[in-house]
Amino acid sequence: MRIYLLRHAQSEGNKRGLFQGSLDFPLSEEGKLQAQRAGEFLKRFEFDLVVSSPQKRALQTARIVADILGLKLKVDERLREISYGVLEGKSHHEVENWSEYQKWLENPVKNPLQGVDPMDKLQERVESFLNEIPQWGKSVLAVTHGGIVRAIICTVGNLGMENLWRFSVSNVSLSLVELKRLNPPRGKIKFVNLPTAEV
């Protein structure tokens, strides 16, 4: 089973350099163009279904992509972004020198930040999502968020949530994991952070 992970296109929050998490920003104008380019790029793959986070930035991206691909779209709450607690609404520049923030980036399991989704609950959420995928087809495109893409990769690759922030996931980048078994869902990481909307 192949799960393609597409991070949403540029949102108004991304444009302003903000931590978004549970905040619900729509796509920027540039983001809408990125989503269209991503949809064209994704024509080279075969998918059984597009499934999306309900948050505006992901759902707008998914609708544009699903329309281009002529596929059905399913919305799944489990693909919502991590809640970033005290970071939400702040810019990356504002917090880059916080020692608590730097410790959290190093190991979010050992050094939790106030109000951020606990890593064990995050793992439970993505495992629940992954275990259900075989009911939907052999090749699924999930349109979601940077934190969730990383969490799925860490789960499938059995890397541990302490490594959540060890790799980059850009707007409209594509990652691919292959599920080999379920309960717990484990498999192979095929690629991460492939650009889909280069001009």
Q: What is the pLDDT of residues 31-77, one digit of tens each?
A: 999 999 999 999 999 999 999 999 999 999 999 999 999 999 999 99
User: pLDDT-based confidence at 198, cuts 50/70/90?
Assistant: confident
Q: Is 92 a catalytic residue?
A: no
Rounded Cα–Cα distance for residues 106 and 111 (Å):
8
Q: Where are the domains of the chain?
A: 2-195
Report pTM.
0.97
Q: Which of 145, 169, 171, 185 is catalytic?
A: 145
Joined tokens for residue 194: 């492939």
Mean pLDDT of all residues in the chain?
Answer: 97
Per-residue pLDDT at 178 exceeds 80 = yes
Q: How far is CA 142 from the centre of its chain?
A: 8
According to CATH, the topology of domain 2-195 is Rossmann fold (3.40.50)
- Unique residue bearing structure tokens 């190991």: 107
Task: Output b/e per residue, 24-52; b: 16+ Cβ within 10 A.
Answer: ebebbeebebbbbbbbebbeeeebebbbb
| Residue of 8, 57, 78, 125 marked catalytic | 8
